[in-house]
Amino acid sequence: MPSPTPSSRMVRVVSTRTVAPPPRPRERERMRIPLTTWDASMLSSNYIQKGLLFHKPPSSSPSPFNAADHLAAALAHALLHYYPIAGRFVTEQHKDDLTGAVVGCSVHVDCAGQGVELVHAVADGVAMADVVPPDADAPRELLAQFFQLTGAVNYGGKDQPLFAVQVTELADGVFVGFAYNHALSDGTAFWDFVNYWAALGRASLGLAPSPPAPKPSFERWSPDGGPAGPAVLPCADVSELIERAPPPRLRERMLHFSAESLAALKERAREELLAAGDTAGAAALTKFQALSSLLWRCITRARRLSPDQETTCRAAINNRGRLRPQLPQEYFGNSIYAIGTEPARAAELLDRGHGWAAAAVGRAVAAHTDAAIRARVAAWTAKPMVYTYRFFDPSGTMMGSSPRFDMYGCDFGWGKPVAARSGLANKFDGKTSLYPGREGGGSIDAELTLSPENMAALERDEEFWAAVTPDARLPAQEKEKKAS
């Protein structure tokens, strides 16, 4: 059921500062990185908003520990290696050689060290349990106050920071909220950066050795393997392509699926496929397919679609390992696509069962090959576009984020996170973001947003809730351990 947020629980800002990297060699001060196909298509989307909940840092003497100051110092050093994050976007117009008429524009990252924003805030009277109420709706109004740049689109990075952090003190904890420009990079690169930043924080307190310097690759990929030029959009200014929509009415649940529950979902799908004679589909099954099938089918049932209404299951997928030659995992930019199943009639999806839907997701994943990626790049280049909410199927489901992101490894020096949550950005009816489960072991947390009516219907779905694992209590705070 929805969890009301008392109006007295307000977040107040204590301070705001700009954090910039140390000066870089003069010959690299004005380095520019072009936004290419995968980056430029994100310019109308919202900033990524992800955050981590921690126990309160232990008190120390002679002065109390200040989480915001500690994070700011480590952040400046992290930006030395991830310097594009401290930059801004700049736009360049492209003109016809003969007529001089503007035929398009492109966007670059100006890596001049303009800096990122760090906000220190206090949430009076708010406890950790208010942020992550067990087996209840996410407190969306409260969580929204833990993030900067709500409602901002990525193209706004020409005037505002590409990264903004809000460190919010709670009665018994700290919430660190990240707002990150999705046209700069995808989640894989972003979480690599945050983990390095966290490792620097631990090292500065003597809790771990200094981490080795990361080697993010800022050279953008191009289909022919040569230097990548910027993606040229068919407008004089990107603002012509930006679409804004009023925030939809949504309810949100963070649903936990234990490793055992996911194994059972996968086994159920395997048995159904074997019974249907699909041995290849059964052999290729993954936990992701099984979970996607459950969400796709149960959300479709909750929506009460007409039997002939077509629906799809889409998912964000990493291109790095699928390209030939492969992109390095350290590639710092966007390298993702949304893949999708073949459209299925609602009646067919529900009648043919869990295994059939899981296999349909598997076929979509298997079809995302090097050739398929290159074909999509060529199609985009011939007709450039930016993603907007109209891109998503209102009768379908969309799976975002990834349980492979190392969110719970982000220990800044006072313990690992006890929960991961997000803001209001990039959410709509049928969107699910996947997180690693807090206890590890292959468990997954699924952050699901639906309209209030559809969520109420889903709450009555016995098949769905039979697979959901009840929430566990927040873990106790661990004691500090100095590096040996």
Model confidence pLDDT, tens digit, residues 415-470: 999 999 999 999 999 999 999 999 999 999 999 999 999 999 999 999 999 999 99
Q: Report domain 11-241's class.
A: alpha beta
Percentage above 70 pLDDT, the chain: 95
Strand order in the sheet with 397-401: 251-257, 444-450, 431-436, 397-401, 313-318, 336-340
Mean pLDDT over 217-224 rounds to 95
**What pLDDT is attached to residue 60?**
61
E strands, 154-266, are 163-169, 173-180, 251-257
**What pLDDT is attached to residue 149?**
98
Alpha-carbon distances, residue 43 vs 152, 154, 339, 423 (angstroms) = 10, 5, 19, 19
| Whether the Cβ atoms of residue 399 and residue 315 lie closer than 8 Å to each other | yes
For 211, counting Cβ atoms within 10 Å of its Cβ (0-12 exposed, 13-18 middle, 19+ buried), the class is middle
Q: 459, 426, 475, 431: which is closest to 50 by C-alpha?
A: 426
Identify the band that residue 472 occupies on the pLDDT scale cut at 50, 70 and 90: confident
For strands 419-422 and 251-257, give the pairing.
Answer: unpaired
pLDDT in tens, 227-238: 999 999 999 999
Centre a 10 Å sphere on the Cβ of residue 306 and count the other Cβ atoms it contains.
10
Count of all residues that appear for the chain in the document: 484
Omega into 212 within 30° of 0, i.e. cis? Answer: no
The residue among 128 and 8 whose pLDDT is bigger is 128
CATH of domain 251-467: 3.30.559.10
| Whether the Cβ atoms of residue 444 and residue 170 lie closer than 8 Å to each other | no
pLDDT in tens, 50-81: 999 999 987 764 556 799 999 999 999 999 99
Could you tell me the pTM of the whole model?
0.95
Strand order in the sheet with 32-34: 32-34, 102-110, 88-95
Domain residue ranges in the chain: 11-241, 251-467
In angstroms, the CA 143 to CA 177 distance is 9
Judge if 11-241 and 251-467 fold alike in CATH terms: yes
Identify the band that residue 476 occupies on the pLDDT scale cut at 50, 70 and 90: confident
